Structure 1
């Protein structure tokens, strides 16, 4: 796991990964336009001057990647040129593809390759993340049963590359491949990771079992929120263009530019009424997944808005629902949260709405020690707000596409209406009590 000094590696530039110089905004879709570091082969620069200037910051990571590649090359050579005996094949790459972990002399190779992949993912560059995902996917080809738990790392990394459909297919296959527990991982003739084009808008119930995989829940939540943000951007764009004489082809091009997910191409073609229905569906799915995540590990959302301690954790083992499980899931996913513009902002607004509506309760709750549990008023409000965040996601979604005055945002109106209803109910109850008291006197 990375040290505390490496936490900034999880917080690179926001937005989709692209070839870019780390010292300036220069970026290019064509890799030939930028210079590539010959050492790590994962960083690119707009000029030799910027490459030299960045060397002090880059040297440590570059050296680490080079050492990891050299180690992998040595282990690869050992496997391909092994001395054959009754336990060791001469070249497992030719004879045991699909069952590598069952061959003892491949395990150091697999560990070395996983180490390189993890180092590459931490670089936060398009080359680094792209190569890291390639390593992980090929390791699953070499070892179907995935004894190293690689499948838990892959989904969030795919989302960083905007491989959204591939991510969803990957998670659904693993979640549904062995419902009866009889899948033979050693039978290379059985279908493996062969699910393609699954409906991302379908009900997520297949993943919400009694013991869901937390890393899949997190990745699916990011994906659903990512699509919600794209719908927000489409709605805002259409509001701006409404009633204006604007070339249709130019508007379509702008709508393509304001969405992130490749899956949003389908959503973009929807009329406004259908867009709202899709938004509602995604919001309800996000609530379900968020609630399932809170049930599976209540630590995750609490730490999502301040992940530093979790990202410093070095635990090598964990149990279900534990702090250590959350920390590992944070390591796997936080870069995806950070790079996917809008998703954390959406949750932060939902949290703020929950806090505002929960604040009037705090004074009474502080009087009850069983409720307070030694917490300060601020700590109690923070805990209460996180626990209620999914109930306020609709407020945040409405706010996200609102273009009017801040004081008149949908969440403000909802809160005002709720307080008026509450005040009315309290007044009616008091009036009823007064009438009952008058009857008693009579």
Structure 2
């Protein structure tokens, strides 16, 4: 696909002006809700901060108590809003000349980046959106998505690479269908490289309700196993099942049979293990390693990057880590898959340590850690089985698989030794007879 040129981040230019600490990406887990940061009270009736419009409190008392902690972020948001308002005024009331229209909002919608006087406006709007995303509040993330979406309307060519941010923001808001539609449009909009990005009459982001596989299957499976052990009324069981489903796409699976859920789960795993997982590794080999230890990447300041580089991984991590963090159980599932891979790979480390080309100066522990990440997708099915197991640790499917693998390896080793012994005896017999 021939896509528009991405110029974010420009070489040496820090659009956001901020390098955040890793802790800033780790807000509350679970779906975004209007919640008081002090007591975690939730609800739309909470009081909204009049300064940043992105934080809510259960009471004036809690707002006052939180003021020392909130003040820095609040002032930063207000500063970003003032900057955007200033740039908006400059574009809207520009003095026209041969390069500058009087009001680009009326004359150049869809082609903003082609005008030099709109670029500071676009940068200021993106900076505000990024600041709002870092608050990890429902108001902040919703407003950030509105900014990003409207910026794509103003600049179809997407020279700032906003299409790389929008999907993760949509996922944080549980807009799963919209996210898939968005990504599918960008992946298929220009198959032959002839899409005219300057022609505003062409279809733009016009894919809706594309077929996408849903991902709340495991929660439903486990919930049903738990509920099967309790004589609860049907109405209460039904409500509990609805509450464990996060994605709006997955609601229809509530009525599916256990056999159908298992089939869907296997199909999903196949997509991930054979398709998505390897694609992540191919796109940037650094990503999975730093997903488990992201602090260095999350604290990295903006600079230019090349495809597949460490710097590209850092930007991807900063863009997506809040989404990973907020999705309950996802990082736990990947960590368990890594643990399974590590346990099954321990027996190989001694031999690998003998080959310096493989070792590359690493310790045995470092080699095992790296190997566990490299093999994580091959063990994801173990982790999924473990997540559905309600029995003791010793009966986890991965433990059973490991025991079976070790027993099979021991049998194979014994058989190989017996065969070798038989061969040696045969050779000795032949030499004796000869």
Q: Per the shorter chain, which TM-score range? A: over 0.9
Cα 1:6–1:55 change in 2 (3 A) is: farther
Tell me, in whole angstroms, the C-alpha distance in 2 between the residues paired with 1:385 and 1:18: 35
Match of 1:312 among 287, 299, 317: 299
Name the SS of the counterpart of 1:42 in structure 2: coil
Whether contact under 8 Å (1:4, 1:312) holds in the other structure is: yes
Structure 1 match to 2:421: 434
Offset at residue 2 of structure 1 (A): 7.4
Q: Where in structure 2 are the equivalents of 1:277-426 lying within 5 Å?
A: 277-287=263-273, 288-426=275-413
| TM-score normalized with structure 2 length | 0.93
Match of 1:83 among 95, 100, 110: 95
Match of 1:189 among 201, 205, 215: 201
Match of 1:16 among 10, 26, 31: 31
Tell me, in whole angstroms, the C-alpha distance in 2 between the residues paired with 1:352 and 1:2: 38
Structure 1 match to 2:7: none
Structure number having the greater helix percentage = 1
Whether contact under 8 Å (1:118, 1:132) holds in the other structure is: yes
Structure 2 match to 1:198: 210
Whether contact under 8 Å (1:169, 1:198) holds in the other structure is: yes
Match of 1:6 among 10, 18, 21: 21
Offset at residue 109 of structure 1 (A): 0.7
| 1:56 and 2:68 correspond | yes
Tell me, in whole angstroms, the C-alpha distance in 1 between the residues paired with 2:339 and 2:229: 34
Structure 2 match to 1:236: 222
Offset at residue 250 of structure 1 (A): 2.1
Tell me, in whole angstroms, the C-alpha distance in 2 between the residues paired with 1:233 and 1:338: 17
Offset at residue 289 of structure 1 (A): 0.7
Tell me, in whole angstroms, the C-alpha distance in 2 between the residues paired with 1:317 and 1:267: 44
Offset at residue 79 of structure 1 (A): 1.0
Q: Where in structure 2 are the equivalents of 1:107-146 lying within 5 Å?
A: 107-146=119-158
Whether contact under 8 Å (1:21, 1:44) holds in the other structure is: yes
Select between 294-303 and 359-368 the one with higher mean Cα deviation.
359-368
Offset at residue 379 of structure 1 (A): 0.5
Structure 1: runs of 5 or more not aligned: 202-223
Q: Where in structure 2 are the equivalents of 1:168-179 lying within 5 Å?
A: 168-179=180-191
Structure 1 match to 2:252: 266
Select between 9-18 and 241-250 the one with higher mean Cα deviation.
241-250
Tell me, in whole angstroms, the C-alpha distance in 2 between the residues paired with 1:355 and 1:344: 16
Whether contact under 8 Å (2:19, 2:302) holds in the other structure is: no
Tell me, in whole angstroms, the C-alpha distance in 2 between the residues paired with 1:433 and 1:400: 42
Whether contact under 8 Å (2:31, 2:246) holds in the other structure is: yes
Whether contact under 8 Å (2:20, 2:298) holds in the other structure is: no
Query: Deviations 1:197-234 (Å, cap 9, x if unpaired)?
Result: 11112xxxxxxxxxxxxxxxxxxxxxx7xx1xx22211
Query: Deviations 1:84-143 (Å, cap 9, x if unpaired)?
Result: 122111111111111111122111111110110000000100000000000000000010
Tell me, in whole angstroms, the C-alpha distance in 1 between the residues paired with 2:424 and 2:128: 77
Which structure's relative contact order is higher, taking Cα pairs within 8 Å and 6+ residues apart?
A: 2
Structure 2 match to 1:275: 261
Aligned residues: 413
- In our comparison, the structure showing a higher alpha carbon Rg is 2
Cα 1:243–1:328 change in 2 (3 A) is: closer
Query: Deviations 1:302-330 (Å, cap 9, x if unpaired)?
Result: 00011000011113211111000000000
Tell me, in whole angstroms, the C-alpha distance in 1 between the residues paired with 2:19 and 2:107: 42
Match of 1:71 among 83, 102, 111: 83
Whether contact under 8 Å (1:2, 1:312) holds in the other structure is: no
Whether contact under 8 Å (2:126, 2:148) holds in the other structure is: yes
Whether contact under 8 Å (2:111, 2:155) holds in the other structure is: yes
Tell me, in whole angstroms, the C-alpha distance in 2 between the residues paired with 1:81 and 1:310: 41
Whether contact under 8 Å (2:22, 2:294) holds in the other structure is: no
Offset at residue 267 of structure 1 (A): 2.2
Name the SS of the counterpart of 1:118 in structure 2: helix
| TM-score normalized with structure 1 length | 0.91
Tell me, in whole angstroms, the C-alpha distance in 2 between the residues paired with 1:437 and 1:136: 73
